[in-house]
Amino acid sequence: MMDPWLPKDYKFPNDVEIRNLIFANDSWQIYKTADNKNLLVSRQPLVDKWVDQGLLEPNVFFKCDFAGDKFSCLLSSDRFFMAPLNYKLFEVNKVSALAFAKSLKETRRILKNVPLDDAIYVEQYARLLPVSELAGSFVDDSLLLGTWLTGGVAVPTTSIRRLKSLTVNFSKQDLEEIIDEAGIDQKILDGQVDSEAAFLDDNSPRKSSPAKPGKFELPGATYLEQFFHENVIDIVQNPERYESMGIGFPSPIILYGKPGTGKTYTVEKLAEFLDWPVYSINSSSVGSPYIHQTGQKIAEVFNKAFETAPSIVIIDEMEAYLSKREGAQDFKVEEVGEFLRLIPEAPKNKVLVVGMTNLLDRIDPAILRTGRFDHKIEVKMPTAEDIRSMLYTALAKLPKEDNLNLEKVVEALTDKPRSDVAFVTKEAARLTAFRGKDKISQQEIDDALQAKALASTTEKPKRRIGFNNDN
Protein backbone atom coordinates (compact mmCIF):
# COMPACT_ATOMS: atom_id res chain seq x y z
CA MET A 1 0.00 0.00 0.00
CA MET A 2 1.10 3.57 -0.65
CA ASP A 3 2.39 5.76 2.15
CA PRO A 4 -0.36 7.86 3.78
CA TRP A 5 -0.54 11.50 2.83
CA LEU A 6 -1.68 12.39 6.34
CA PRO A 7 -0.04 11.05 9.52
CA LYS A 8 -1.76 9.07 12.25
CA ASP A 9 -3.45 11.31 14.83
CA TYR A 10 -3.49 14.28 12.42
CA LYS A 11 -6.35 16.55 13.48
CA PHE A 12 -8.25 18.88 11.13
CA PRO A 13 -9.52 22.29 12.28
CA ASN A 14 -13.06 20.78 12.37
CA ASP A 15 -11.80 18.19 14.93
CA VAL A 16 -11.84 15.24 12.50
CA GLU A 17 -8.86 13.09 13.54
CA ILE A 18 -7.01 10.54 11.37
CA ARG A 19 -6.63 7.02 12.73
CA ASN A 20 -5.26 4.93 9.84
CA LEU A 21 -5.13 4.60 6.06
CA ILE A 22 -7.29 1.80 4.60
CA PHE A 23 -7.24 2.37 0.79
CA ALA A 24 -4.92 4.36 -1.45
CA ASN A 25 -4.49 5.50 -5.04
CA ASP A 26 -2.33 8.09 -6.79
CA SER A 27 -5.15 10.63 -6.71
CA TRP A 28 -7.15 9.67 -3.59
CA GLN A 29 -6.87 7.95 -0.22
CA ILE A 30 -9.48 6.67 2.26
CA TYR A 31 -8.87 6.79 6.01
CA LYS A 32 -10.65 5.67 9.15
CA THR A 33 -11.07 8.48 11.66
CA ALA A 34 -10.73 8.30 15.42
CA ASP A 35 -14.53 7.98 15.75
CA ASN A 36 -14.60 5.23 13.09
CA LYS A 37 -15.99 7.35 10.25
CA ASN A 38 -14.74 7.09 6.66
CA LEU A 39 -12.77 9.97 5.18
CA LEU A 40 -12.05 10.31 1.46
CA VAL A 41 -9.05 12.57 0.81
CA SER A 42 -8.63 13.52 -2.85
CA ARG A 43 -6.39 15.70 -4.93
CA GLN A 44 -8.16 18.83 -6.07
CA PRO A 45 -8.31 18.13 -9.85
CA LEU A 46 -10.22 14.90 -9.22
CA VAL A 47 -12.69 16.65 -6.90
CA ASP A 48 -13.14 19.45 -9.43
CA LYS A 49 -14.04 16.82 -12.03
CA TRP A 50 -16.67 15.23 -9.77
CA VAL A 51 -18.19 18.65 -9.05
CA ASP A 52 -18.14 19.71 -12.71
CA GLN A 53 -19.83 16.43 -13.68
CA GLY A 54 -22.62 17.17 -11.22
CA LEU A 55 -21.96 14.11 -9.05
CA LEU A 56 -21.50 16.05 -5.82
CA GLU A 57 -21.97 19.60 -4.58
CA PRO A 58 -18.77 21.45 -3.64
CA ASN A 59 -20.06 22.17 -0.12
CA VAL A 60 -19.89 18.48 0.88
CA PHE A 61 -16.08 18.72 0.83
CA PHE A 62 -13.77 20.52 3.24
CA LYS A 63 -10.27 21.67 2.37
CA CYS A 64 -6.97 20.49 3.79
CA ASP A 65 -3.42 21.75 3.30
CA PHE A 66 -0.60 19.52 4.52
CA ALA A 67 3.14 19.53 3.75
CA GLY A 68 2.60 21.79 0.75
CA ASP A 69 -0.17 19.65 -0.78
CA LYS A 70 -3.79 20.74 -1.15
CA PHE A 71 -6.58 18.20 -0.71
CA SER A 72 -10.36 18.07 -0.51
CA CYS A 73 -11.98 15.76 2.03
CA LEU A 74 -15.35 13.99 2.15
CA LEU A 75 -16.56 12.56 5.47
CA SER A 76 -18.98 9.63 5.64
CA SER A 77 -20.74 8.00 8.58
CA ASP A 78 -19.52 4.57 9.64
CA ARG A 79 -23.05 3.31 8.89
CA PHE A 80 -22.34 3.68 5.17
CA PHE A 81 -19.92 1.90 2.86
CA MET A 82 -17.00 3.77 1.30
CA ALA A 83 -14.40 1.88 -0.73
CA PRO A 84 -13.04 1.39 -4.25
CA LEU A 85 -15.03 -1.05 -6.35
CA ASN A 86 -12.11 -3.47 -6.53
CA TYR A 87 -12.44 -4.10 -2.78
CA LYS A 88 -14.14 -7.48 -2.53
CA LEU A 89 -13.65 -8.71 1.04
CA PHE A 90 -17.17 -8.19 2.30
CA GLU A 91 -20.50 -9.99 2.54
CA VAL A 92 -23.26 -8.55 0.39
CA ASN A 93 -26.80 -8.67 1.78
CA LYS A 94 -30.00 -7.45 0.17
CA VAL A 95 -29.96 -4.05 1.86
CA SER A 96 -26.39 -3.29 0.79
CA ALA A 97 -27.04 -4.67 -2.71
CA LEU A 98 -30.07 -2.43 -3.19
CA ALA A 99 -28.06 0.56 -1.95
CA PHE A 100 -25.31 -0.18 -4.46
CA ALA A 101 -27.85 -0.69 -7.26
CA LYS A 102 -29.43 2.67 -6.48
CA SER A 103 -26.01 4.34 -6.48
CA LEU A 104 -25.22 2.82 -9.87
CA LYS A 105 -28.54 4.04 -11.29
CA GLU A 106 -28.18 7.55 -9.84
CA THR A 107 -24.62 7.85 -11.12
CA ARG A 108 -25.62 6.66 -14.59
CA ARG A 109 -28.48 9.19 -14.60
CA ILE A 110 -25.78 11.86 -14.49
CA LEU A 111 -22.93 10.20 -16.40
CA LYS A 112 -23.85 8.11 -19.44
CA ASN A 113 -20.52 7.18 -21.04
CA VAL A 114 -17.87 7.35 -18.32
CA PRO A 115 -15.98 4.29 -17.02
CA LEU A 116 -17.07 3.29 -13.51
CA ASP A 117 -15.01 0.11 -13.09
CA ASP A 118 -12.37 1.98 -11.06
CA ALA A 119 -14.85 4.20 -9.21
CA ILE A 120 -15.03 4.89 -5.49
CA TYR A 121 -18.35 3.80 -4.00
CA VAL A 122 -19.72 6.40 -1.56
CA GLU A 123 -22.94 4.89 -0.22
CA GLN A 124 -23.97 7.89 1.90
CA TYR A 125 -24.28 10.04 -1.23
CA ALA A 126 -25.47 7.20 -3.51
CA ARG A 127 -22.64 7.81 -5.92
CA LEU A 128 -19.90 5.95 -7.76
CA LEU A 129 -17.11 8.48 -8.20
CA PRO A 130 -15.09 7.65 -11.35
CA VAL A 131 -11.33 8.00 -11.37
CA SER A 132 -10.55 7.38 -15.06
CA GLU A 133 -10.30 10.51 -17.16
CA LEU A 134 -11.12 8.93 -20.51
CA ALA A 135 -14.51 7.87 -21.76
CA GLY A 136 -14.84 5.08 -24.29
CA SER A 137 -14.31 1.38 -23.65
CA PHE A 138 -15.54 0.51 -20.19
CA VAL A 139 -16.99 -2.32 -18.15
CA ASP A 140 -20.68 -2.83 -18.91
CA ASP A 141 -23.00 -1.95 -16.00
CA SER A 142 -24.45 -5.47 -16.08
CA LEU A 143 -20.96 -6.88 -15.45
CA LEU A 144 -20.22 -4.14 -12.91
CA LEU A 145 -23.27 -5.04 -10.82
CA GLY A 146 -22.83 -8.80 -11.21
CA THR A 147 -19.20 -8.63 -10.12
CA TRP A 148 -20.10 -6.55 -7.07
CA LEU A 149 -22.91 -8.89 -6.06
CA THR A 150 -20.69 -11.98 -6.25
CA GLY A 151 -17.87 -10.35 -4.31
CA GLY A 152 -15.44 -10.28 -7.22
CA VAL A 153 -16.44 -12.96 -9.73
CA ALA A 154 -16.83 -11.44 -13.19
CA VAL A 155 -20.40 -12.45 -14.03
CA PRO A 156 -22.89 -10.13 -15.77
CA THR A 157 -26.45 -9.97 -14.48
CA THR A 158 -27.57 -11.19 -17.91
CA SER A 159 -25.87 -14.52 -17.25
CA ILE A 160 -28.59 -15.45 -14.81
CA ARG A 161 -27.67 -19.06 -14.06
CA ARG A 162 -24.11 -18.21 -13.07
CA LEU A 163 -25.19 -15.23 -10.99
CA LYS A 164 -27.80 -17.27 -9.13
CA SER A 165 -25.36 -20.08 -8.35
CA LEU A 166 -22.79 -17.62 -6.97
CA THR A 167 -25.21 -15.58 -4.86
CA VAL A 168 -26.98 -18.30 -2.93
CA ASN A 169 -28.02 -15.83 -0.21
CA PHE A 170 -30.33 -14.11 -2.73
CA SER A 171 -33.65 -15.49 -3.90
CA LYS A 172 -34.98 -15.13 -7.43
CA GLN A 173 -37.15 -12.23 -6.31
CA ASP A 174 -34.20 -10.54 -4.56
CA LEU A 175 -32.07 -10.57 -7.70
CA GLU A 176 -34.93 -9.31 -9.85
CA GLU A 177 -35.50 -6.44 -7.43
CA ILE A 178 -31.79 -5.53 -7.26
CA ILE A 179 -31.32 -5.57 -11.03
CA ASP A 180 -34.48 -3.51 -11.49
CA GLU A 181 -33.30 -0.98 -8.89
CA ALA A 182 -30.06 -0.55 -10.86
CA GLY A 183 -32.05 0.31 -13.98
CA ILE A 184 -30.22 -2.31 -16.04
CA ASP A 185 -31.90 -3.50 -19.21
CA GLN A 186 -31.75 -7.30 -18.99
CA LYS A 187 -30.95 -7.96 -22.61
CA ILE A 188 -30.06 -11.56 -23.42
CA LEU A 189 -26.38 -12.15 -24.03
CA ASP A 190 -25.56 -12.49 -27.74
CA GLY A 191 -29.28 -12.65 -28.50
CA GLN A 192 -29.59 -16.08 -26.86
CA VAL A 193 -31.51 -17.28 -23.83
CA ASP A 194 -29.39 -18.54 -20.95
CA SER A 195 -28.73 -22.28 -21.15
CA GLU A 196 -31.19 -22.96 -18.32
CA ALA A 197 -34.42 -21.24 -17.33
CA ALA A 198 -34.06 -17.54 -16.60
CA PHE A 199 -33.54 -18.40 -12.94
CA LEU A 200 -32.95 -21.65 -11.12
CA ASP A 201 -35.80 -22.46 -8.78
CA ASP A 202 -34.95 -21.37 -5.26
CA ASN A 203 -34.75 -25.00 -4.14
CA SER A 204 -32.78 -26.26 -7.11
CA PRO A 205 -29.28 -27.64 -6.46
CA ARG A 206 -26.29 -25.68 -7.72
CA LYS A 207 -25.25 -26.94 -11.11
CA SER A 208 -22.18 -26.72 -13.27
CA SER A 209 -22.54 -25.23 -16.71
CA PRO A 210 -21.49 -27.23 -19.75
CA ALA A 211 -19.70 -25.49 -22.56
CA LYS A 212 -21.97 -23.78 -25.03
CA PRO A 213 -22.43 -25.47 -28.40
CA GLY A 214 -21.20 -23.59 -31.45
CA LYS A 215 -17.94 -22.11 -32.57
CA PHE A 216 -15.56 -20.14 -30.39
CA GLU A 217 -14.35 -17.11 -32.32
CA LEU A 218 -11.56 -14.61 -31.77
CA PRO A 219 -11.57 -12.23 -34.74
CA GLY A 220 -8.05 -11.09 -35.49
CA ALA A 221 -6.40 -13.92 -33.55
CA THR A 222 -7.14 -17.15 -35.42
CA TYR A 223 -4.12 -18.95 -33.96
CA LEU A 224 -5.44 -18.39 -30.43
CA GLU A 225 -8.91 -19.38 -31.54
CA GLN A 226 -7.56 -22.65 -32.92
CA PHE A 227 -5.43 -23.32 -29.83
CA PHE A 228 -8.33 -22.93 -27.40
CA HIS A 229 -10.66 -24.95 -29.59
CA GLU A 230 -8.22 -27.88 -29.68
CA ASN A 231 -6.84 -27.74 -26.15
CA VAL A 232 -9.81 -26.57 -24.08
CA ILE A 233 -13.19 -26.35 -25.77
CA ASP A 234 -13.25 -29.66 -27.61
CA ILE A 235 -12.02 -31.44 -24.48
CA VAL A 236 -14.73 -30.03 -22.20
CA GLN A 237 -17.44 -30.53 -24.83
CA ASN A 238 -16.45 -34.16 -25.47
CA PRO A 239 -15.02 -35.44 -22.17
CA GLU A 240 -15.87 -39.13 -22.76
CA ARG A 241 -13.98 -39.25 -26.03
CA TYR A 242 -10.86 -37.76 -24.45
CA GLU A 243 -11.11 -39.77 -21.22
CA SER A 244 -11.06 -42.97 -23.26
CA MET A 245 -7.63 -41.87 -24.47
CA GLY A 246 -6.42 -40.96 -20.97
CA ILE A 247 -6.88 -37.20 -21.46
CA GLY A 248 -8.53 -35.40 -18.56
CA PHE A 249 -9.52 -31.81 -17.88
CA PRO A 250 -7.47 -29.13 -19.74
CA SER A 251 -4.06 -28.34 -18.27
CA PRO A 252 -3.02 -24.87 -17.03
CA ILE A 253 -2.00 -22.35 -19.70
CA ILE A 254 0.28 -19.32 -19.80
CA LEU A 255 -0.41 -16.42 -22.16
CA TYR A 256 2.58 -14.13 -22.47
CA GLY A 257 3.40 -11.09 -24.55
CA LYS A 258 3.64 -7.32 -24.52
CA PRO A 259 1.02 -5.18 -22.74
CA GLY A 260 -2.00 -4.54 -24.94
CA THR A 261 -1.79 -7.69 -27.04
CA GLY A 262 -5.18 -8.86 -25.75
CA LYS A 263 -4.33 -11.57 -23.23
CA THR A 264 -7.14 -10.66 -20.84
CA TYR A 265 -9.62 -10.13 -23.67
CA THR A 266 -8.86 -13.64 -24.93
CA VAL A 267 -9.59 -15.23 -21.56
CA GLU A 268 -12.75 -13.15 -21.12
CA LYS A 269 -14.09 -14.33 -24.49
CA LEU A 270 -13.28 -17.93 -23.56
CA ALA A 271 -15.08 -17.59 -20.20
CA GLU A 272 -18.05 -15.99 -21.91
CA PHE A 273 -18.21 -18.84 -24.42
CA LEU A 274 -17.92 -21.54 -21.77
CA ASP A 275 -20.21 -19.63 -19.38
CA TRP A 276 -17.96 -20.43 -16.42
CA PRO A 277 -17.30 -18.29 -13.32
CA VAL A 278 -14.01 -16.39 -13.43
CA TYR A 279 -11.77 -15.75 -10.41
CA SER A 280 -8.87 -13.32 -10.63
CA ILE A 281 -5.63 -13.38 -8.71
CA ASN A 282 -4.00 -9.96 -8.86
CA SER A 283 -2.73 -7.28 -6.50
CA SER A 284 -6.29 -6.07 -5.88
CA SER A 285 -7.77 -9.46 -5.00
CA VAL A 286 -4.98 -11.08 -2.95
CA GLY A 287 -2.37 -8.43 -2.22
CA SER A 288 -1.75 -7.79 1.47
CA PRO A 289 0.90 -5.93 3.49
CA TYR A 290 0.79 -8.71 6.09
CA ILE A 291 3.11 -11.71 6.01
CA HIS A 292 1.35 -15.02 5.22
CA GLN A 293 -1.96 -13.31 4.33
CA THR A 294 -1.34 -13.21 0.58
CA GLY A 295 -0.78 -16.97 0.54
CA GLN A 296 -4.00 -17.46 2.48
CA LYS A 297 -5.94 -15.30 0.04
CA ILE A 298 -4.51 -17.22 -2.92
CA ALA A 299 -5.78 -20.46 -1.35
CA GLU A 300 -9.19 -18.86 -0.77
CA VAL A 301 -9.51 -17.91 -4.44
CA PHE A 302 -8.68 -21.45 -5.56
CA ASN A 303 -11.08 -22.96 -3.01
CA LYS A 304 -13.93 -20.77 -4.28
CA ALA A 305 -13.12 -21.85 -7.83
CA PHE A 306 -13.14 -25.51 -6.75
CA GLU A 307 -16.58 -25.03 -5.15
CA THR A 308 -18.14 -23.55 -8.31
CA ALA A 309 -16.31 -25.70 -10.88
CA PRO A 310 -16.05 -25.86 -13.77
CA SER A 311 -14.50 -22.42 -13.48
CA ILE A 312 -11.48 -20.37 -14.51
CA VAL A 313 -8.73 -18.89 -12.34
CA ILE A 314 -6.77 -16.07 -13.97
CA ILE A 315 -3.35 -15.24 -12.52
CA ASP A 316 -2.69 -11.71 -13.75
CA GLU A 317 0.89 -10.41 -13.88
CA MET A 318 2.31 -13.77 -12.83
CA GLU A 319 5.76 -12.31 -12.31
CA ALA A 320 4.46 -10.43 -9.25
CA TYR A 321 3.72 -13.70 -7.42
CA LEU A 322 5.74 -16.37 -9.22
CA SER A 323 9.11 -14.75 -9.79
CA LYS A 324 12.35 -16.68 -9.30
CA ARG A 325 12.96 -17.56 -5.66
CA GLU A 326 16.73 -17.12 -5.58
CA GLY A 327 17.39 -14.36 -3.05
CA ALA A 328 13.67 -13.73 -2.53
CA GLN A 329 12.18 -12.92 0.86
CA ASP A 330 10.59 -15.74 2.83
CA PHE A 331 7.02 -14.54 2.17
CA LYS A 332 7.68 -14.54 -1.60
CA VAL A 333 8.99 -18.11 -1.41
CA GLU A 334 5.83 -19.00 0.52
CA GLU A 335 3.60 -17.52 -2.21
CA VAL A 336 5.37 -19.49 -4.94
CA GLY A 337 5.07 -22.62 -2.81
CA GLU A 338 1.33 -22.10 -2.44
CA PHE A 339 0.94 -21.91 -6.21
CA LEU A 340 3.11 -25.02 -6.67
CA ARG A 341 0.71 -26.85 -4.36
CA LEU A 342 -2.55 -25.56 -5.86
CA ILE A 343 -1.90 -25.50 -9.60
CA PRO A 344 -1.67 -29.31 -10.00
CA GLU A 345 -4.90 -29.62 -7.98
CA ALA A 346 -6.84 -27.33 -10.31
CA PRO A 347 -7.41 -29.73 -13.25
CA LYS A 348 -8.43 -32.48 -10.81
CA ASN A 349 -11.16 -30.13 -9.57
CA LYS A 350 -12.21 -29.01 -13.08
CA VAL A 351 -10.66 -25.56 -12.77
CA LEU A 352 -8.85 -24.10 -15.77
CA VAL A 353 -5.86 -21.99 -14.72
CA VAL A 354 -4.69 -19.28 -17.11
CA GLY A 355 -1.62 -17.27 -16.18
CA MET A 356 -0.75 -14.01 -17.90
CA THR A 357 2.55 -12.19 -17.94
CA ASN A 358 4.53 -9.62 -19.87
CA LEU A 359 7.79 -11.01 -18.42
CA LEU A 360 7.97 -14.76 -18.93
CA ASP A 361 11.71 -14.87 -18.20
CA ARG A 362 11.12 -13.74 -14.60
CA ILE A 363 8.85 -16.66 -13.72
CA ASP A 364 10.25 -19.34 -11.40
CA PRO A 365 11.42 -22.35 -13.52
CA ALA A 366 9.54 -24.74 -11.22
CA ILE A 367 6.28 -23.08 -12.26
CA LEU A 368 7.09 -23.23 -15.97
CA ARG A 369 7.91 -26.91 -15.86
CA THR A 370 5.72 -29.24 -17.93
CA GLY A 371 3.16 -30.82 -15.63
CA ARG A 372 2.23 -27.49 -14.12
CA PHE A 373 1.79 -25.21 -17.12
CA ASP A 374 1.82 -27.49 -20.15
CA HIS A 375 1.12 -24.72 -22.65
CA LYS A 376 2.94 -21.40 -22.97
CA ILE A 377 1.43 -19.33 -25.79
CA GLU A 378 2.81 -16.02 -27.01
CA VAL A 379 0.11 -13.43 -27.71
CA LYS A 380 1.38 -11.04 -30.36
CA MET A 381 0.42 -7.53 -31.40
CA PRO A 382 -2.16 -7.61 -34.21
CA THR A 383 -1.10 -7.55 -37.84
CA ALA A 384 -2.87 -5.47 -40.48
CA GLU A 385 -4.97 -8.50 -41.41
CA ASP A 386 -5.89 -9.04 -37.74
CA ILE A 387 -7.02 -5.41 -37.40
CA ARG A 388 -9.00 -5.62 -40.63
CA SER A 389 -10.80 -8.74 -39.43
CA MET A 390 -11.60 -7.18 -36.04
CA LEU A 391 -12.92 -3.99 -37.62
CA TYR A 392 -15.22 -5.76 -40.04
CA THR A 393 -16.50 -8.03 -37.28
CA ALA A 394 -17.19 -5.12 -34.90
CA LEU A 395 -18.88 -2.98 -37.57
CA ALA A 396 -20.95 -5.86 -38.93
CA LYS A 397 -23.33 -5.48 -35.97
CA LEU A 398 -23.81 -1.72 -36.45
CA PRO A 399 -25.79 0.34 -38.99
CA LYS A 400 -23.32 1.97 -41.35
CA GLU A 401 -23.07 3.54 -44.77
CA ASP A 402 -21.82 1.47 -47.68
CA ASN A 403 -18.27 1.69 -49.00
CA LEU A 404 -16.54 2.81 -45.81
CA ASN A 405 -12.79 3.09 -46.28
CA LEU A 406 -11.18 1.41 -43.29
CA GLU A 407 -7.62 1.12 -44.56
CA LYS A 408 -6.54 4.31 -42.80
CA VAL A 409 -7.74 2.81 -39.53
CA VAL A 410 -6.04 -0.51 -40.29
CA GLU A 411 -2.75 1.24 -40.97
CA ALA A 412 -2.99 3.38 -37.82
CA LEU A 413 -3.87 0.49 -35.48
CA THR A 414 -1.53 -2.21 -36.81
CA ASP A 415 0.85 -3.34 -34.03
CA LYS A 416 -1.23 -1.39 -31.51
CA PRO A 417 -3.30 -2.81 -28.63
CA ARG A 418 -6.38 -4.72 -29.75
CA SER A 419 -8.52 -2.62 -27.43
CA ASP A 420 -7.92 0.32 -29.78
CA VAL A 421 -10.25 -1.31 -32.31
CA ALA A 422 -13.05 -1.44 -29.74
CA PHE A 423 -12.43 2.20 -28.86
CA VAL A 424 -12.61 3.39 -32.47
CA THR A 425 -15.79 1.46 -33.29
CA LYS A 426 -17.55 2.50 -30.08
CA GLU A 427 -16.49 6.11 -30.49
CA ALA A 428 -17.73 6.12 -34.10
CA ALA A 429 -21.06 4.72 -32.92
CA ARG A 430 -21.29 7.27 -30.11
CA LEU A 431 -20.54 10.17 -32.45
CA THR A 432 -23.18 8.90 -34.87
CA ALA A 433 -25.83 8.85 -32.15
CA PHE A 434 -24.72 12.22 -30.75
CA ARG A 435 -25.00 13.83 -34.21
CA GLY A 436 -28.49 12.46 -34.71
CA LYS A 437 -27.54 10.14 -37.57
CA ASP A 438 -28.85 6.62 -38.08
CA LYS A 439 -25.77 5.20 -39.82
CA ILE A 440 -22.02 5.44 -39.20
CA SER A 441 -20.39 7.45 -41.97
CA GLN A 442 -16.78 7.93 -43.01
CA GLN A 443 -16.74 11.17 -41.03
CA GLU A 444 -17.45 9.35 -37.75
CA ILE A 445 -14.79 6.73 -38.52
CA ASP A 446 -12.19 9.41 -39.20
CA ASP A 447 -13.17 11.46 -36.15
CA ALA A 448 -13.07 8.38 -33.91
CA LEU A 449 -9.57 7.56 -35.15
CA GLN A 450 -8.48 11.12 -34.43
CA ALA A 451 -10.00 10.90 -30.94
CA LYS A 452 -7.98 7.74 -30.29
CA ALA A 453 -4.80 9.47 -31.44
CA LEU A 454 -5.47 12.35 -29.04
CA ALA A 455 -6.31 10.00 -26.18
CA SER A 456 -3.06 8.08 -26.70
CA THR A 457 -1.06 11.22 -25.99
CA THR A 458 -2.73 11.81 -22.62
CA GLU A 459 -3.87 8.47 -21.22
CA LYS A 460 -2.16 7.01 -18.17
CA PRO A 461 -1.67 3.31 -17.45
CA LYS A 462 -4.93 1.97 -16.00
CA ARG A 463 -4.90 -0.05 -12.83
CA ARG A 464 -6.24 -3.58 -12.85
CA ILE A 465 -9.27 -4.58 -10.88
CA GLY A 466 -11.22 -7.67 -10.20
CA PHE A 467 -13.33 -7.02 -13.31
CA ASN A 468 -10.64 -8.40 -15.62
CA ASN A 469 -9.54 -5.29 -17.43
CA ASP A 470 -7.81 -5.65 -20.70
CA ASN A 471 -4.13 -6.38 -20.40
User: In this predicted structure, what is the pLDDT of residue 325?
Assistant: 55
At the topology level, CATH places domain 393-456 in Helicase, Ruva Protein; domain 3 (1.10.8)
End-to-end CA distance of the chain: 22
Please state the φ and ψ torsions of residue 124, each to the nearest 5 degrees: -60, -35
| Lowest pLDDT segment from 4-18, 101-115, 414-428 | 414-428
> Is the model's pLDDT at 369 over the cut of 70?
yes
Most confident of 70-74, 147-151, 213-217, 453-457: 70-74
Selected residue with higher pLDDT from 447 and 457: 447
pLDDT at 25 over 90: no
**Quick one: how far is CA 49 from the chain centroid?**
23
pLDDT of amino acid 335: 66
| Across 173-195, average pLDDT | 68
The CA distance from 149 to 165, in Å, is 12
Asked whether the predicted pLDDT for residue 112 surpasses 70, the reply is yes
Which residue type does 412 have? A
Mean pLDDT of the 339-367 span: 86
> What pLDDT is attached to residue 170?
86
Percent of the chain with pLDDT over 90: 31
Helix axes 141-150, 94-110, angle to 10 degrees: 160
**pLDDT score for 88:** 61
Least confident of 49-58, 253-262, 320-329: 320-329
Q: Is the pLDDT of residue 209 over 70?
A: no
What's domain 18-76's architecture? 2-Layer Sandwich (3.30)
Q: What is the pLDDT of residue 402?
A: 85
Question: Residue 330 pLDDT more than 60?
Answer: no
Q: Which of 140, 138, 142, 116 is nearest to 129 (CA)?
A: 116
Kindly report the average pLDDT of the chain as a whole number.
80
Task: State which of 204-218, 243-257, 408-422, 449-463 shows the largest mean pLDDT.
Answer: 243-257
Q: State pLDDT tens for residues 385-400.
A: 888 888 888 888 788 8
Residue predicted with more confidence, 465 or 227 = 227
pTM: 0.55
* pLDDT of 315 above 90: no
Q: Given a cut of 70, is residue 201 above it in pLDDT?
A: no
Highest mean pLDDT among 61-75, 178-192, 249-263: 61-75
- Give the C-alpha distances (Å, rounded to integers) separating 140 from 38, 107, 207, 272, 442: 28, 14, 26, 14, 27
Tens digits of per-residue pLDDT, 437-448?
A: 889 999 999 998
Res 358: pLDDT: 86
Predicted confidence at residue 8, as pLDDT, reads 92
CATH of domain 222-378: 3.40.50.300
Asked whether the predicted pLDDT for residue 41 surpasses 80, the reply is yes
Each residue of 383-411: b (16+ CB within 10 Å) or e? eeebbbbbbeebbeeeebeeebebeebbe
Q: For residues 465 and 118, is the Cβ–Cβ distance under 8 A?
A: yes
Q: In this predicted model, what pLDDT tens digit does every residue of 132-164 receive, in sequence order?
A: 754 444 568 888 898 888 877 778 888 776 787
